[in-house]
Structure 1
Amino acid sequence: MRILAIANQKGGVGKTTTTVALGGLIADAGHKILLLDIDPHGSLSTWFGIDPDNQALSSYTLFQERKELSYQLVKRLVLSTQFANVDVIPATTALATLERQAIGQDGMGLVLSRALALLADDYDYVLIDTPPLLGVLMVNALAACHYLVVPVQTEFLALKGLERMVNTLNMMSRSRKKALDYTVVPVMFDRRTQASVTSLRTIRNTYPEQSWPGYIPVDTRFRDASKAGIPPHLFDPASKGVEAYTSLWHWLEKKFKQLESTPSATPLVASKAGAVS
């Protein structure tokens, strides 16, 4: 099981769209996937028609029951969707209270690692949609994942958010056995504006090894797909945005295989013995 986190410390950069778009394409390729929503805003949950204001069982339950985690408990949180190979663990607005609750509590940083390890035989991929804040939820996602996707809007302010995210990764890597591999994905690119063109150039020049060579264009069909509650590739498979995400998925798949074929690499898989880090 490969665990991907989609994260950025800036909001409004397309994390949820990237999570749903990639997840849908991965599922369409025949892989069983779990979409894990840990953002208190619950945008991913809402995309699939799940109300984050009215969830008795959610990703928040993992933290509530962290001392009693079991396969049966985690499976109770999983909701099936109408789409083949796609399951969801929804968010709830109660997640916003975790920062205060985490003060002085032991074991809060590895809750997702422990929970997802229990599902290792059930899914090929887990994609984690994260909140735009450095806190216990972000730390959990970074500790649990094998690979990180960082969507970055092609605008000046988003570049500052990327800088903060990379600083966080460098800090987190010091507590891991192996530095976390990541890919920066330029999103909402508008070739008609100089700001987008300049920002894209800056991203590629500043992070040449980590930048995906493509970009996700501005595409209003993403908004339409979310309103309809359908993954983008099923809503409009011919859209420019879907074409771009398809290219990203194929690129990432090759990247994963390259990393796993490197003799010194840590396998990008989790087992029930525990998540690889």
Structure 2
Amino acid sequence: MHIWAVANQKGGVGKTTTVVSLSGLLADAGHRVLMIDLDPHGSLTSYFRFDPDSIEHSGYDLFQVSGKIPEELPRSVILETGHPNLSLIPASTALATLERHAQAQGGMGLVISKTLAILWDDYDYVLIDSPPVLGVLMINALAACQQLVIPVQTEFLAIKGLERMIRTLTMINRARKRPVPYTIVPTLFDRRTQASNKSLRSLKDLYEDAVWHSVIPVDTKLRDASTAGVAPSALDSNARGVKAYASLMDTLLNPSG
């Protein structure tokens, strides 16, 4: 099992689009893929037409167990998306209440790691959609993952937000046996605007080798896929955004190539 987390401490940078696009492409390639929505806003859950406000079973259930997670529990909260090979552990808005319990209930930072240990042979890839807030949910994502993808919108405020994310990652890595490798992905890039081009140059100057060599462009087909509730590759495999995510996927699968 390969576990990728998609995170940034700023909203609106393309986290959910990145999770759905990469997951769809991996599933298209024949891999068994599980997406986990850890954002209480439930954008990934809503994407596939499930309601985070009324959903009966969700990832929230995993955090209600004291001690060892029962073997049958993780599979009981998994939903099928309608896309072949692509499954989802949905979010519930109740996830927002976890922070107040986290201090009193120890071990909550490793719930997702323990869950994936149970599901280890069921999936080839797991992609985690992390909330844009440092707390127990983001810590779960960073503790569980083997690779971190950080989408960054190519605009000034998003780059400032990236500084916070890198500080958080540095803190998490001190507690891990192995540091989490990460890739910064420039998103929502519009080559026609000076702001996008200037921001991209700043990203490369500040973070050098950590920045992916290409960009995810602004592409209305990605929004159309969200409206249709399908992975972008299922709507239009030749869309500019889909091709860009396919290139990103190749880079993540072959980091040295």
Q: Which runs of 4+ in 1 moved over 6 A?
A: none
Report the residue type matching 1:174 in the other structure.
R
**SS of match in other structure, 1:56:** coil
State the shift of 1:103 in Å.
Answer: 2.2
2:189 & 2:242 partners in 1: Cα distance? 14
Deviations 1:180-210 (A, max 9, x none): 1000000000111111001101111111121
2:180 & 2:238 partners in 1: Cα distance? 33
Report the residue type matching 2:207 in the other structure.
Y
Number of the residue aligned with 2:90: 90
Matched, 1:2 2:2: yes
Number of the residue aligned with 1:67: 67
Q: Which of 103-112 and 120-129 deviates more? A: 103-112
Matched, 1:50 2:62: no
1:205 & 1:94 partners in 2: Cα distance? 40
**TM-score with structure 1 length normalisation?**
0.91
Report the residue type matching 1:59 in the other structure.
G
1:14 & 1:224 partners in 2: Cα distance? 14
State the shift of 1:95 in Å.
Answer: 0.5
State the shift of 1:122 in Å.
Answer: 0.2
1:163-174 matches, cutoff 5 A: 163-174=163-174
Number of the residue aligned with 2:34: 34
2:219 & 2:213 partners in 1: Cα distance? 19
**SS of match in other structure, 1:34:** strand
**SS of match in other structure, 1:12:** coil
Report the residue type matching 1:29 in the other structure.
A
**SS of match in other structure, 1:169:** helix
**SS of match in other structure, 1:206:** helix
Q: Which of 68-77 and 130-139 deviates more? A: 68-77
**SS of match in other structure, 2:143:** helix
User: How big is the alpha-carbon RMSD for the aligned residues of Structure 1 and Structure 2?
Assistant: 1.1
2:113 & 2:66 partners in 1: Cα distance? 11
**SS of match in other structure, 2:210:** coil
The total of aligned residue pairs comes to: 257
Matched, 1:77 2:77: yes
1:13 & 1:73 partners in 2: Cα distance? 32
Asked if 2 retains the 8 angstrom alpha-carbon contact of 1:4 and 1:148, the reply is yes
Q: Which of 104-113 and 4-13 deviates more? A: 104-113
State the shift of 1:65 in Å.
Answer: 1.7
Taking only the aligned residue pairs, the percentage that are identical comes to 58
State the shift of 1:82 in Å.
Answer: 1.2
Number of the residue aligned with 2:231: 231
State the shift of 1:91 in Å.
Answer: 0.2
1:169 & 1:124 partners in 2: Cα distance? 25
State the shift of 1:11 in Å.
Answer: 0.4
Deviations 1:210-252 (A, max 9, x none): 1110000011111111110010011111211111001111111
**TM-score with structure 2 length normalisation?**
0.98
Q: Which of 1-10 and 94-103 deviates more? A: 94-103
Number of the residue aligned with 1:272: none
Asked if 2 retains the 8 angstrom alpha-carbon contact of 1:70 and 1:115, the reply is no
State the shift of 1:66 in Å.
Answer: 4.3
Number of the residue aligned with 2:128: 128
Q: Which of 236-245 and 140-149 deviates more? A: 236-245
1:252 & 1:183 partners in 2: Cα distance? 8
**SS of match in other structure, 1:126:** strand
| Runs of 5+ unmatched residues, structure 2 | none
